[in-house]
Structure 1
Amino acid sequence: MKYIPLTAIIIMLSISGIFASSKEDSTAYEKQRERVNKLLDQRRERFGEFDASLTARSGIFGLKTKKDMQSSIDILKQIVLTDNNIFKETKALLDYKDFEKQTVEGQVEVSGERITGYINTISKLQRSQDQLAEEIMVLEKRSNIYLSLLLFAFLALMTSLYILTKRRKN
């Protein structure tokens, strides 16, 4: 039973060490961390007082008196109240982290949707570009055919004119 509070302190210190490594904490998160750390310091002090009260023996023949035991009980009550406050503040601290995580996830989702929209737009534009390139090729083929026909017609006309002029001269 005596080791449970010590384990809780070690876990809280580990958690605060993990949170201390994050450089992008918000100011509210930092304030909340400071509150938790202050509460942990208070608990450490009260636990030291409790240890001292356990060794205090002011009775006859070095025995514990009722006052000594009541003092130890009062200190334990304070430790329990401090532990409750630590848990409440740690819960608030975790809520900050959860909120931050949800915010980041929301931003990731929005960014993902935006990227998907960009990809869809790019795909549509590429399909449109491919369609237009095919239309250009068809139009160029038609243009080449018309140019060939025009050239053939021009050559036929020139040949006809040449033949006609030669006949008239003859």
Structure 2
Amino acid sequence: MLIITCLACGSIYAQPNTDSLAYQNQRQKINAMLAARSAKFDQYDASLSKHTGIFGMQTKKDIRRSNDILMDIVKTDNDILKQTKVLLTFKNNQLDSRVFQQQTIQTKVHETESNVLAYMNTINKLRDQNDKLQAGIKNAEKGQSTMEFWLIAVIFLFIITSILFVLSKKRAIKM
């Protein structure tokens, strides 16, 4: 039973975990988004240093371009936060799944242990009953052999008494 339980536990852990694959894909997606954000921030930094106006001043067009890049960075940040929430959900689900598997395994182990103990108790009770029955059989055999002895003795005494009685009658008739 213990070996079967160990094999069952091993097969549970040997199965590929699709949640971990989704978790890894989600991490890669977030890392790609972070790299894109870093590139956009570099673009924003470069746009801040551009001054295409007269006397080296920034124009409205330069400021709008910088603001557009900044808004794109904010959108990317929001998307990163959403995807991070999804990633945390995957992680929590993995933890919940592992806890559930461990609880299931522990429950099966406890059930197996209790079944083994119950079987052992039953075997011990049956052994005790068998010992009592064997002792009863020996006592019955001793009683039977004793009864057979007394029966044979009584029959032998009856035969001897009968022979003596017949002989005494024959002597009495002859005399």
TM-score (structure 2 length as normaliser) = 0.69
The AA in structure 2 aligned to 1:95 is T
* 1:148 counterpart = 2:130: no
Structure 2 regions of 5+ residues with no counterpart?
1-15, 165-175
Q: Deviations over 1:62-87 (max 9, x none)?
A: 33333323322221211111011001
Q: 1:11 maps to what in 2? A: none
Aligned twin of 2:28: 34
Whole-angstrom distance in 1 between the partners of 2:96 and 2:126: 44
Percent identical pairs in the alignment equals 27
Q: CA deviation at 1:34?
A: 3.4
**Consecutive unaligned residues in structure 1, runs of 5 or more:** 1-22
Which residue pairs with 1:5 in the alignment?
none
CA–CA separation in structure 2 for the residues paired with 1:54 and 1:147 = 113
Q: 2:43 pairs with 37, 40, 49, which one?
A: 49
In 2: Cα distance, 1:110 partner to 1:31 partner: 28
- Is the counterpart of residue 83 in structure 1 residue 77 in structure 2? yes
SS in 2 for 1:64: coil
- Structure number with the bigger relative contact order (C-alpha 8 A, sep ≥ 6) is 2
Q: Which residue among 66, 84, 90 is the counterpart of 2:60? A: 66
Aligned length: 148
Structure 1 residue 163: deviation in Å? 5.2
Deviation at 1:89, TM superposition (A): 0.8
CA drift of 1:155 comes to: 3.0
Structure 2 distance, partners of 1:124, 1:151, is: 40
| Residue 90 (structure 2) aligns with | 96
Aligned to 1:135: 129
Secondary structure at the aligned position of 1:130 is classed as helix
Distance of 1:137 and 1:83 partners within structure 2: 80
